[in-house]
């Protein structure tokens, strides 16, 4: 996807996110205590915003750092919680898969994100100790 097309995608995503937040103003107060409600996540993930982090060879929008940062900026401008969620999923999950994953792992993970509106996770541990990170 070209840079200008990705820019348009990000602008449309930001406007749609803004609309969802206007329709659901309680999101910004509830999310700190209970997490983001599934119906809200479904609305924003249906737009496939995390596809910006996925290389075009796997059906994403390219995975270019500038585009990823533009998406994070747009999401964070509208909602810090959504921006943080995308930052964790994109930068700490999808980008490492793109860089270090096997071809089989990449195909599976990226298709799961694109088709199932999935989110990634991050687990941190230390030898002989737990962590609270």
- The 3-class SS string of 97-128 reads HHHHCCHHHHHHHHHHHHHHCCCCCCCCCECC
In a domain, 131, yes or no: no
In a domain, 72, yes or no: yes
Query: pLDDT tens digit string along 56-95?
Result: 999 999 889 999 999 999 999 999 889 999 999 999 999 9
Q: Determine the average pLDDT of the residues in 23-42.
A: 76
In a domain, 127, yes or no: no
Which CATH number do you get for residue 93?
1.10.540.10
In a domain, 106, yes or no: yes
Is the pTM higher than 0.85? The answer reads: no
Domain count, the chain: 1
In a domain, 52, yes or no: yes
Q: Which residues contact 94 (CB under 8 A, 6 or more apart)?
A: 50, 53, 54, 63, 109, 110, 113, 120
Q: Which domain holds residue 19?
A: 3-116
In a domain, 26, yes or no: yes
d(CA 113, CA 102): 16
pLDDT at 33 over 70: no
In a domain, 41, yes or no: yes
């Amino acid at each position: 996807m070209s840079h200008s097309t990705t820019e348009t995608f990000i602008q449309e995503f930001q406007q749609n996110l803004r609309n969802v937040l206007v329709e659901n103003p309680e999101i910004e107060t509830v999310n700190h205590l209970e997490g983001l409600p599934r119906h809200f996540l479904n609305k924003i993930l249906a737009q496939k915003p995390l596809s910006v982090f996925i290389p075009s060879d796997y059906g994403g929008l390219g995975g270019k750092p500038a585009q990823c940062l533009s998406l994070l900026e747009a999401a964070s401008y509208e909602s810090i919680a959504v921006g943080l969620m995308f930052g964790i999923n994109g930068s700490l999950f999808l980008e490492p898969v793109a860089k270090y994953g096997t071809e089989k792992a990449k195909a599976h993970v990226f298709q799961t994100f694109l088709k199932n509106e999935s989110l990634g996770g991050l687990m941190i541990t230390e030898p002989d100790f737990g962590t609270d990170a």
